[in-house]
Amino acid sequence: MSAILEVRELRKSFGGIVAVDGVSFSVEAGEILGIIGPNGSGKSTLFNCILGQLAPSGGDVRLDGRPVTGMRPCDLNRLGVSRTFQLLQIFPQLTVRENLVLAGQEHQGTMLGRLAGPRDAGLSAAADRMIGFFRLDHLAEEHAGDLSYGQQKLLDVAMAFMAGPRLALLDEPAGGVNLTMLASLRERLRAINAEQRSTFVVIEHNMEFVMALCTRILVLAEGRVIAEGDPAAVRRDPKVIEAYLGHS
């Protein structure tokens, strides 16, 4: 296996506060890597630095060995990297199908070509497949703003996979999702990983979800990597227990 994503000595500071402090890791193709850590440990900042939402203060990000540090999120997305955010990010005034078409349309030809092309950018069938895959069939023509929170969360995740990304960074996909929906979400993510050979990096607070989904886990505390390994090893690691529970 080869590393699809390599992060080397990534740093991000806000004034005197160091949010990400020399984080290094790599993700192999087809892997599901979980990133956990207490609140404020720098997980989302790390994502934002990798994905170009924030300019890192130092370090290097490589995609398939190619340096992409500081690349704009839209350009990274066109290279096959997609993401979800910690807070729900959908377009409430568009229908479920339009949200999905939007999520894929910028990968279809040139900007001028899209203007002259079909309204759905030729993506209706792909959007319908994704709608079916995430079991949102009965909601395809509903405005996304009218959906329940759990359904919106599924749509949010579905949008990240609409363009068939090679690498998806999911920031708390299970946040605020009820138990039934959570099982469905985990099952869908596993299916995408198996069928499309997509690679995931998942930030999550829900330990049960992340331990069941991920093959390897990276633990952050105060902006640094304090542990790394398979879920069972991480669960037993005293540094991880200390980071979450403090000294006894």
Site residues, another protein (CB under 8 A): 51, 53, 72-74, 77-78, 82-83, 85, 89-94, 98, 101-103, 105-108, 111, 114-115, 117, 119, 121, 141, 143, 145-146, 159, 163
Q: Nearer to another protein by C-beta: 92 or 176?
A: 92
| Nearest CA-CA partner of 107 in 88, 133, 138, 80 | 80
Shortest spacing between CB 110 and another protein, in angstroms: 11
Name the phi and psi angles at 236, rounded to 5.
Answer: -90, -15
Shortest spacing between CB 106 and another protein, in angstroms: 4
Q: How far apart are CA 188 and CA 41, in angstroms?
A: 28
Q: Which two tokens stand for residue 169?
A: 């960074």
How many Cβ atoms sit within 10 Å of the Cβ of residue 13? 15
What's 105's DSSP letter?
H
Shortest spacing between CB 246 and another protein, in angstroms: 34
Q: What is the CA radius of gyration of the chain?
A: 18
Sign of CA dihedral 123, 68, 167, 94: negative
Q: Nearer to another protein by C-beta: 128 or 222?
A: 128
Shortest spacing between CB 242 and another protein, in angstroms: 34
Q: Nearer to another protein by C-beta: 99 or 193?
A: 99
Q: Would residue 15 be called left, alpha or beta, if left means φ above 0 and alpha means ψ between -120 and 50 degrees?
A: left
Q: Nearer to another protein by C-beta: 92 or 132?
A: 92
Q: How far apart are CA 223 and CA 248, in angstroms?
A: 23
Q: Nearer to another protein by C-beta: 73 or 175?
A: 73
Shortest spacing between CB 102 and another protein, in angstroms: 5
Q: Nearer to another protein by C-beta: 28 or 106?
A: 106
Shortest spacing between CB 201 and another protein, in angstroms: 14
| Nearest CA-CA partner of 225 in 53, 60, 46 | 46
